C-alpha cells in the first residue's frame, strides 16, 4: 500500500549508525531490533552497522553487553554471528568536530564509490543533542545517497524547550529527514485503529458525541522506577507517557477521516484534533506518587521517595489522570480520560470507548453500557462488551463480549516489536508513524501550563500504595467524567 512509503532500493548500500551505542537504550532496544530485522531478512542486503560512543569498547564487548536482550533462538547462532560480523565500533566525543570527521572517514572507507544511504539513530541524552546533530550536519551527511536522523524522546521538557529543539533540527535538516520515534505508534493495535475506524461501516455512524459517553485511554505498569528514579524524576509520568504516547492514541481515536493514507494526510488530521483541545487545567487532573506497601515483597515495600536517586522532597507525579475535551462538532463535551501510572495493580495499555446508556430502558436499570475495548498490551485484542440473555430458563441478562483476541485468532503469527516496524519505516522513508514538528508543538501547548503550575506552586501528588489502582480520586474523576465502572464484568479467556 502507498502508506508503507517508497520501498527501499535493495541494491543500494546502507549504513546504520547508533550514537550512544554504549548506553541502556542501545543495548536493550536498538541492537536487539536491528538483529531481529536482520534475522528475518527485512533489511536491505548491503547494510552495515556502526556504534559510536565515548566509551572505549570493542565489538565483542558490545556484543556481550547486548546479548541477554537479543533473544537468540536455537538454530539462529550462525545467523547471529553473521550479524555481528557486519558491526563496527567507533570511539569519540559528542562535542568535538574532529571526532565526527574521523567517524565520517571510517564510514566512507566502508562505502562503495556509488555512495550509500545513512541512518543515524540518536540513542542519546538530551544534553548532548544539539552538539551531536550540528556535528552530524557539518561532517557526516551522505554525499550520493540520503541521510535520515532518528530522534528519541524526550523532545524537550515544555513548549519553549521543544520549540528550541525543533527550530535547531529544522535549521540543519529537512522535515522529511527527521524521524521522531514514539514507539507506541509502532504497536499493532495502535496501527489497527486506522483500519478499525475507517475500514468498517459498523463503527463510523456511532463514532461521535451522540453515541459515545466517554473515552478512556489507560497505561498501567506494575513496577516502580526500578533504580532509575533519578532519571525519571527529571520528567515525571506526564512527560514520560501522557504528553506523548496517550495523546498520540487520542488523536488517532478522535481524528476525522484523512483524504488518503499518505503519511502527511494522516498527520494533518491528527494536528487538527490537537488544535481543538484547550490546555488541561488542574481541576481536571489527579496527581499521585506511590508509597511502599508494608505487606508487599521486594521493591513493592519501597515508595518513590525511598529510591536513593530521588530527592527526598520530590513532588514528581508517578500517576496522573487527566480529562481533556475536544472542542469540535464531533466530540463537543465528550470527556477523553487519560490515565497512566507506575507501581499499579497490573500491566495494561488499552482504549475503552464507552457508549451512552440505552434510552427508554425497559429492563429496570439492569443494562450495563456497551464498550468497545482495544487492548494494546499485554495480549492484543479488540472486543465489544454487550448485554445478552443469560443461557437457561430465566430471563436474566449478563455482560458478554464479541471477541477478537489475537492470541487465539492468529495463533502462529509473530507480531513484530514496535521498534522493528518503525526502524523498517525509516529505511522505507515512510513517516506515517512518526511525530511531525507541528504535532509536537500542539501536544506541548496542551500540557505545558499544567507542568509549569505543578513546578511553580509545588503541588503535592496524592500518595497511593504500591500495587493499588492508584489514588481513589482517580476513579472519582473518571466517574464524574461520565465513565461508569461496574466491576461486574468477568473476562473468560479463549479456550485453547
Catalytic residue numbers, as ranges: 245
Q: Which three cell numbers stand for residue 62?
A: 558490545
What is each CA distance from 232 to 320, 345, 481, in whole angstroms? Answer: 14, 20, 29
Q: How far apart are CA 300 and CA 466, in angstroms?
A: 6
Q: How far apart are CA 261 and CA 263, in angstroms?
A: 6
Dihedral in degrees, nearest 10, Cα atoms 17, 20, 24, 27: 30
Q: Which three cell numbers stand for residue 251?
A: 488523536
Does residue 475 contact residue 485 with C-beta atoms inside 8 Å?
yes
Does residue 157 contact residue 130 with C-beta atoms inside 8 Å?
no
Q: How far apart are CA 486 and CA 98, in angstroms?
A: 64
Strand order in the sheet with 178-181: 87-91, 47-53, 13-19, 116-122, 147-152, 178-181
Instruction: Encode 375-401: b = buried (16+ Cβ within 10 Å), e = exposed.
Output: bbeeebbbbbbeeeeeeeeeeeeebbb
The alpha helices in 354-471, defined as continuous H runs, are 406-409, 418-428, 437-456
Q: How far apart are CA 288 and CA 474, in angstroms?
A: 9
Helices 247-254, 188-198: crossing angle, 10 deg rounding:
20
Evaluated on CA atoms 373, 433, 157, 129, the torsion sign reads: positive
Please tell me what DSSP assigns to residue 37: H
Amino acid at each position: 500500500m502507498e502508506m508503507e512509503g517508497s520501498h527501499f532500493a535493495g541494491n543500494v548500500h546502507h549504513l546504520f549508525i547508533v550514537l550512544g551505542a554504549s548506553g541502556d537504550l542501545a543495548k536493550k532496544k536498538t541492537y536487539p531490533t536491528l538483529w531481529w530485522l536482520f534475522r528475518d531478512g527485512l533489511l536491505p542486503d548491503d547494510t552495515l552497522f556502526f556504534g559510536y560512543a565515548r566509551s572505549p569498547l570493542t565489538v565483542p564487548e558490545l556484543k556481550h553487553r547486548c546479548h541477554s536482550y537479543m533473544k537468540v533462538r536455537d538454530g539462529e547462532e550462525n545467523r547471529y554471528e553473521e550479524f555481528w560480523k557486519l558491526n563496527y565500533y567507533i570511539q569519540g566525543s559528542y562535542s568535538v568536530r574532529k571526532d565526527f570527521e574521523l567517524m565520517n572517514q571510517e564510514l566512507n572507507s566502508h562505502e562503495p564509490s556509488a555512495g550509500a544511504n545513512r541512518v543515524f539513530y540518536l540513542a542519546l541524552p538530551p544534553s548532548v543533542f544539539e552538539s551531536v546533530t550540528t556535528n552530524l550536519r557539518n561532517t557526516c551527511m551522505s554525499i550520493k545517497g540520503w541521510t535520515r536522523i532518528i530522534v528519541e524522546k524526550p523532545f524537550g521538557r515544555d513548549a519553549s524547550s521543544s520549540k528550541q529543539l525543533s527550530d535547531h533540527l529544522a535549521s540543519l535538516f529537512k522535515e522529511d529527514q527527521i524521524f521522531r520515534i514514539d514507539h507506541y505508534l509502532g504497536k499493532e493495535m495502535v496501527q489497527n485503529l486506522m483500519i478499525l475506524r475507517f475500514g468498517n461501516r459498523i463503527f463510523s455512524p456511532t463514532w461521535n458525541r451522540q453515541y459515545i459517553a466517554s473515552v478512556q485511554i489507560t497505561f498501567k505498569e506494575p513496577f516502580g522506577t526500578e533504580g532509575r528514579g533519578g532519571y525519571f524524576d527529571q520528567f515525571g509520568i506526564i512527560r514520560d507517557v501522557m504528553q506523548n504516547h496517550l495523546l498520540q492514541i487520542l488523536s488517532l481515536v478522535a481524528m476525522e477521516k484523512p483524504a488518503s493514507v499518505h503519511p502527511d494526510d494522516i498527520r494533518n488530521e491528527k494536528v487538527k484534533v490537537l488544535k481543538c483541545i484547550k490546555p488541561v487545567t488542574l481541576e481536571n487532573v489527579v496527581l499521585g506518587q506511590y508509597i511502599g506497601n508494608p505487606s508487599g515483597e521486594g521493591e513493592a515495600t519501597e515508595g518513590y521517595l525511598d529510591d536513593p536517586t530521588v530527592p527526598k522532597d520530590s513532588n514528581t507525579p508517578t500517576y496522573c489522570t487527566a480529562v481533556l475535551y475536544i472542542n469540535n462538532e464531533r466530540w463537543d463535551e465528550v470527556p477523553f480520560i487519560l490515565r497512566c501510572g507506575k507501581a499499579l495493580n497490573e500491566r495494561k495499555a488499552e482504549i475503552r470507548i464507552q457508549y451512552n446508556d440505552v434510552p427508554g430502558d425497559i429492563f429496570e436499570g439492569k443494562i450495563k453500557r456497551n464498550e468497545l475495548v482495544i487492548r494494546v498490551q499485554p495480549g492484543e485484542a479488540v472486543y465489544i462488551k454487550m448485554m445478552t440473555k443469560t443461557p437457561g430458563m430465566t430471563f436474566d441478562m449478563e455482560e458478554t463480549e464479541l471477541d477478537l483476541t489475537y492470541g487465539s485468532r492468529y495463533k502462529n503469527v509473530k507480531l513484530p516489536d514496535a521498534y522493528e516496524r518503525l526502524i523498517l519505516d525509516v529505511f522505507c522513508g515512510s513517516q506515517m508513524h512518526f511525530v511531525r514538528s507541528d504535532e509536537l508543538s500542539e501536544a506541548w501547548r496542551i500540557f505545558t501550563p499544567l507542568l509549569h503550575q505543578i513546578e511553580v506552586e509545588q503541588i503535592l501528588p496524592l500518595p497511593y500504595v504500591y500495587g493499588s489502582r492508584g489514588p481513589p480520586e482517580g476513579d472519582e474523576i473518571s466517574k464524574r467524567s461520565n465513565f461508569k465502572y461496574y466491576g461486574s464484568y468477568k473476562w473468560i479467556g479463549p479456550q485453547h
